[in-house]
Structure 1
Amino acid sequence: MSGSRVVVVGGGVIGLSIAFHLAEAGIDTTLLERGELGSGASRATADVVRSYFAGNPVSSALAVRSLAAYHAFPSRPGIDLPLRQVGYLVLFSEPEQVSAFEADLPDQHAAGVDVGLISVAEAKERNPLIGDLPLAGAAYSPQAYISDTTAIVTAYAEAARRAGADLRTGCPVTGIDTATGTVQTADGEVRGDAIVCAAGAWSASLVRCAGVDLPLTEPIEQELLTTDPLPPGTPEIPVTLHAASGLLIRVRGDRMLIGMGYPGPDREAWRRGVAAQLAITYPSLAGIALHTAVTGLRDASPDRRAFIGHQPGPPAFLYATGFSGHGLCNAPAAGELVRDLYLDQDPGIDVTALAVSPGRTG
């Protein structure tokens, strides 16, 4: 049996951020990852970091804090992270969507998000690919950047190791015992004064071992599509979401990267739906071939807000999961919050909104 002050379960961008922030604070940290680092949800991202999450100012506040950390990456943890500002555009089809946006706006601004309502004409200026579909308005936030998830994962891993963290890959966790602080793995047991669950789509069974009732959904498979090369002269556009359908697009190199919800059991029907919506929203892309870009499992919470919290010990149990596809945008803040909860420091944010509570059971 080996030991460590804190054992982090999960080696995606969330777990690695946690390991880095703990090790940087001088805490003996061991991270256990079932596969390779960043091989779960962290490999199925659009490489977009943004601050605006509609109807979810708590996630927006975490994202604003995280964006500041990403901008500071050259000095901490020490890598010139690519951050290409493109902006984030949301298209509203119905007046009710505009009303919901306006009702949410004060909380978004209080969270530090730079976002506002723009006209349909301005939306089409920002994204000339938009067709003549009926729109009631749009939201635009300049706080959206194309980055590199692999670079972020690598930076946190290297910095965590430099700070003394032990990162173990190919080490699936089979169970945890919070009474003794023991984590069972195929390679033996690891014991800590605290256990942190950051296992993403594999979190549900682990937190149940700790007696914590997190209402996580079953793991959801995410798929992003890419197109054939785009027509010459295709303009650079903001990351654009069609709110009614969930169609999300961004330019990646000479192609378009596309997401729209989750494929479900009938993947071919889903792809036909994506192609149909793409043709309606962006007529110049009608008929363009679509191919799988990447797939990966995601965790999800009922309110699409992360669960971050702790049960005091010793041994203590902490959790950071349920990010619902927001993990890349929330990772730096999540690492800071878990570190502060473990050290019993002021995290600078009301973490009660992120903890398990009766109001978040869905």
Structure 2
Amino acid sequence: MSALPARADAVVIGGGVVGTSAAFHLAEAGVDTVLLERGGLGGGASAHTAGMVRTYFPGAPATGRRAVRSLEAYRAFARRTGAPLALGRLGFLVLFTDERQIADFEADQEAQRAAGVEVGLIGAREAAGLNPLVGERAVLAAAWSPEAYHVDGLDIVRGYAAGARGHGARLYTHTPVVRIDDDNTVHTPRGSVRADTIVCAAGPWAGEVASLASVDLPLAPHAMEMLFTDVPPAPHPELPMTLDAGSGLRIRSWRDRILLAMGAPKADETRDAWLGRVSGRLGALFPALDGIGLHRAWSGDFDASPGNTAFIGAHPTRRFLYAAGFTGAGLCQAPAAGEQLRDLLIAA
């Protein structure tokens, strides 16, 4: 087990998709970079997602702008990092079941387009044509964004990690941060390293890490459980990611089954009651899946901000940068987040 260096220009805390992106972009810019990860690379929230990158985020065009830039970066990923990255187009469909949702979409559309997001309003019949499981009579209209792709999040983490090492960054796994001194000395069981700048990209633990440096990040871990259905009775084509605007239920193809999510049980709700809510909404929107068996796929915590939009910035009085609050959408924004952290550090 190699010891940590005595100092570094930047110490990135967190080895998920955002942390490895930050390490890559910093090292590529010539910044002497050390990354510390409490477990294995990509072992946190980055490994517990639906494996999608998209550019349309309803009601959040600023997030969409970051996602548009990130998709451009993913298309150049192999050239920049030397690691291949497969993007499989699926598209993103958002189902509207009441007129208010349609009005909200129309009020938001101009800002979305100004952010570079490709999205339009379609009718229920066209929505059912894109996803044959949709019950045409259950929806009024839908938003359709073709710029959504399947991707393996661990491929992104490994690619950025390899690229960061290629530019001289030093990455340490199974190295939790236990204390941060006022002079930015970061202490771990492996030793200590003094950072000119700390970069906090620790996902669900970002608030905990920030508190070690006496920095307040208003984060709350957000639980999410992914579910698999039984094999549907009839074969289905590969489906777009489909979101119910009302309940947050989302589904997509996963081999011969359907992968879905709708949050997690509430504090006062049993898991069986939650599964009943999920099953009821699933059957109402997708009649062919009514009553189908549901099984745990995987679960995890995500870093959630009060407004469910990521915040990236710098502490006003110490050299401490942060990127947190991605609420499970870190894959969609990681390249742009890494670029922004790099720019903040260089400008400081």
Q: TM-score range by the shorter chain?
A: over 0.9
SS of residue paired to 2:79: coil
For residues 153 and 311 of structure 2, what CA distance do their matches in structure 1 show? 22
1:222 counterpart residue number:
224
For residues 149 and 125 of structure 2, what CA distance do their matches in structure 1 show? 23
**Which amino acid in structure 1 is aligned with residue 209 of structure 2?**
L
TM-score scaled to structure 2, two decimals? 0.94
2:306 is aligned with 1:302: yes
* Aligned partner of 1:169 among 161, 167, 173: 173
SS of residue paired to 1:114: coil
Shift of 1:300: 0.3
TM-score scaled to structure 1, two decimals? 0.91
For residues 27 and 168 of structure 1, what CA distance do their matches in structure 2 show? 17
2:235 is aligned with 1:233: yes
1:292 counterpart residue number:
296
* Aligned partner of 1:41 among 20, 23, 45: 45
Could you give the per-residue CA deviations for residues 293-326 of structure 1, whole angstroms, max 9, x where no partner exists?
A: 121111100111111001367x611000111111
For residues 138 and 185 of structure 1, what CA distance do their matches in structure 2 show? 50
1:357 counterpart residue number:
none
1:104 counterpart residue number:
108
Shift of 1:228: 2.4
For residues 309 and 259 of structure 1, what CA distance do their matches in structure 2 show? 30
For residues 211 and 127 of structure 2, what CA distance do their matches in structure 1 show? 46
- Contact map agreement 2:128 2:136 (CA 8 A) in 1: no
- Contact map agreement 2:124 2:140 (CA 8 A) in 1: yes
Could you give the per-residue CA deviations for residues 70-113 of structure 1, whole angstroms, max 9, x where no partner exists?
A: 11112111222111111100000110001111111111011000
Q: Which structure 2 residues correspond to residues 107-118 of structure 1 after superposition, within 5 A?
A: 107-118=111-122
- Contact map agreement 2:18 2:337 (CA 8 A) in 1: yes
- Stretch deviating more after TM superposition (203-212 or 15-24): 203-212
2:339 counterpart residue number:
336
For residues 211 and 248 of structure 2, what CA distance do their matches in structure 1 show? 32
- Contact map agreement 1:6 1:28 (CA 8 A) in 2: yes
Shift of 1:272: 2.2
Shift of 1:66: 0.3
- Contact map agreement 1:173 1:184 (CA 8 A) in 2: yes
- Contact map agreement 1:38 1:153 (CA 8 A) in 2: yes
Shift of 1:338: 0.2
* Aligned partner of 1:25 among 6, 26, 29: 29
* Aligned partner of 1:319 among 289, 311, 322: 322
Q: Which structure 2 residues correspond to residues 1-362 of structure 1 after superposition, within 5 A?
A: 2-177=6-181, 179-217=182-220, 219-265=221-267, 266-311=270-315, 316-344=319-347
- Contact map agreement 1:82 1:147 (CA 8 A) in 2: yes
- Contact map agreement 1:31 1:165 (CA 8 A) in 2: yes
Shift of 1:133: 4.5
SS of residue paired to 1:123: helix
**Which amino acid in structure 2 is aligned with residue 229 of structure 1?**
V
- Contact map agreement 2:265 2:271 (CA 8 A) in 1: yes
Unaligned runs of 5+ in 2: none
For residues 310 and 101 of structure 1, what CA distance do their matches in structure 2 show? 33
How many residues align? The count is: 342
For residues 28 and 294 of structure 1, what CA distance do their matches in structure 2 show? 36
Unaligned runs of 5+ in 1: 346-362
**Which amino acid in structure 1 is aligned with residue 304 of structure 2?**
A
RMSD: 1.6
Could you give the per-residue CA deviations for residues 158-213 of structure 1, whole angstroms, max 9, x where no partner exists?
A: 11111111111111112222x31111212222211000111111111222343433
For residues 200 and 258 of structure 2, what CA distance do their matches in structure 1 show? 35
Shift of 1:232: 4.2
SS of residue paired to 1:74: helix
